[in-house]
Amino acid sequence: MKMKKEIDSPLFESRSGKGRTAYKIFAASEFLAICYICVYRLTQIPAAYHGRWAWVGLSMAELWFVISWFLFQFSRWNPVYNKTFKDRLSHRYEKVLPGVDVFVCTADHVIEPPIMVVNTVLSVMAYDYPPEKLTVYISDDACSELTFYALLEASKFAKHWLPFCNKFNVEPRSPEAYFSSPQNPNPNPIMDSSFEFIKNEYEKMKDRIESASMHGKVPSDSRQQHTAFRQWDKVSSRHDHPTILQILIDGNSQPLPTLVYLAREKNPKYHHNFKAGTMNALIRVSSNISNGSIILNVDCDMYSNNSQSLRDMLCFFLDNKGKEIAYVQFSQYFFNLTKNDLYGGSYLLGNQIELPAMDGNGGPCYTGSACFHRRDTLCGLKYEDRESVNILEDQNHRKEKQSIHVLEETSKILANCTYEDNTQWGKEIGVLYGCPTEDVVTGANIQSKGWKSKYFNPPDARKGFLGAACTTLLHDLVQNKRWSEGNLMTALSKWSPLFHGGKLPVILRLQYSSFNLWCFHSFATLYYVTVPSFCLLQRISLFPEISSRWVIPFAYAFLSSYFLSLGEFLTCGGTLQGWWNEQRMWVFRRTTSYFFGFIDSLLSLMGVKHSGFVVTPKVSEDEVKQRYMKDVMEFGASSPMLIILATIAMFNLYSFGWRLNIVLFKALGVQILLSGMIVLINLPVYEGLFFRKDNGKMPFSVTCKSVILSLLACAAAIYLQ
């Protein structure tokens, strides 16, 4: 009886978040305030023609805010938090653990340096998992021999690093992160000699890799020693080359995970479909080499921070409910955030509230990295056929007598440009094509077929993965532009979760819509940060007088939303200044990233422009890094996005200063406060425009253009008065 209970006991449990009833009461009070605001807008329309257009426009902007508020509620009502039981997993399945294939993707050896790729690869090779069941694939879309050289060096170092990690159970298992930890990484006197040896070996490997990267060529002795470099003689460019595939470590012949390098074939005549094409090539190649039942994909800048993550993942897939789970999305945190999260890149609320809420309604979206997939679901397995597949079954197709050379040659064919011709790859099989956010589309498509997903963010344990956040403002804005563009194209595509969601629950469809429609936030926000200030110069009142009772619902809606977000942010571990930085970035992204994302989406749909995949730089210069760590905003390069930000900042400063002589308790008081709020948000912009002398200041061309444009707007407002 006791044995049966142990077998039937779950491998994970889910619990609902606390305070749901209190939040629903709070949301009801906000809804009441919104209703009063709507009544005010409908009953108090100005009689004067010159103010009516602004009033109607503001009403439309507020209507959009109401719609987004409605969608926002589903990200708060039913969060679910999961806990795993790895001891039960080990007791039950330790001898029959399934094979796991890890995909690490890199696309540019300059902005994604080889030493960073190496640290990610070593961290996933060092999982606490049987090495014969683990295979790591690195896809190099830049086809860089420097990256290949770095992996050769890593394959040698791995013979020392992996036994060291297993013997002393070190964390984290990225060498760079481990040796640079501010805490003492060597608390155990027994490991003194091993520690010094490993650290010395790592530093020598790092010096060799960085020296080769600096000089832009592989050392001649390495090139002569390894015949694999001859494959680069056939490489015309990173966009035109045959498939290069090399098994660097054969796990069948030594007690280490298998390590495979792949640069899939590129040809200017064939679209390579960016990261989605990379993933599909890896799925096919891995099926011939290792064919692991589970696939983990990570970006090259996101290393494994917890050696137990594979076992956490298996607690979901091997549970009694596991056959209905298609993928397990782990949380993504960042190792290089400043104390106050200057660019709002921690996504604390997303990790700790919004994704758990999706889990409570059917499962989180696939966010593109740190995600474990069933191989069969990625390859098109239907939900109704789930019972016929057992991930514990040995699916390794490799024959022991098959030589490494033969295996490499037969696998290369699977990464050719022409392999997908007249097939369902990218349409119904693998990662889907045709959208910049191929990850979200693929996850939603899998869920629409009836599959569920799970989200894992252990509150009391080491986070599973740590990545690199953007260290400049422009990089953050460009990244969010790509995301917003991809989300909108998802909403307008045949895979739209809202209209073509198949078996997706209705509430989950609405949650997808809350970020699929990011781009539309730009118009309402742009209107709110410009038109009220424009009307302020014209003495046109768009809000009730501060002494009027009508101001109460406006004040309540504004203050309650701010206090709610502040409370959530602090509860999730953020700081007060970090919350304010996030509010600033909320405005910056909506007025620039989302706006340009909408424009690019429109041009793509019209066939004028083709969507592309922009790789965000993962490293920064020392000077930029020093300013970043001091929470100093980096402007640097000129960009239309920065011109928009600076123009809005200057226009509101003029408007605020021009009308400060108006007593606050008169009709324009709320507009003055709104303009003043925008001025406060833009204090770093004014500093970058006029007071900073370093290289991270706002470019002089941006300063001139923004000053002229804002003065012209002010002149137009006063002239049209």
- Catalytic positions, please? 141, 439
- Long-range contact pairs involving 282-285 (C-beta distance under 8 Å, separation at least 24): 282/103, 282/105, 282/137, 282/139, 283/375, 283/378, 283/379, 283/430, 283/431, 284/414, 284/415, 284/419, 285/137, 285/245, 285/260, 285/411, 285/414, 285/415
Helix 438-448, helix 506-516: angle, nearest 10: 170
Largest CA distance in the chain: 88
Distance of CA 560 to the CA centre of its chain: 28
Is-contact 636 700, C-beta < 8 A? no
Is-contact 397 288, C-beta < 8 A? yes
CA atoms within 13 A on the CB side of 555: 12
Strands in 244-249's sheet, in edge-to-edge order, are 244-249, 258-263, 134-140, 100-106, 294-299, 371-374, 325-330, 452-456
> Among 468, 412, 371, 623, which Cα is nearest to 115's?
468
d(C-alpha 328, C-alpha 660), whole Å: 54
β-partners of residue 13 are 83
Contacts of 695 (CB under 8 A, 6+ apart): 623, 636
d(C-alpha 224, C-alpha 229), whole Å: 8
Say which DSSP state 429 is in: B
> Among 660, 677, 671, which Cα is nearest to 551's?
671
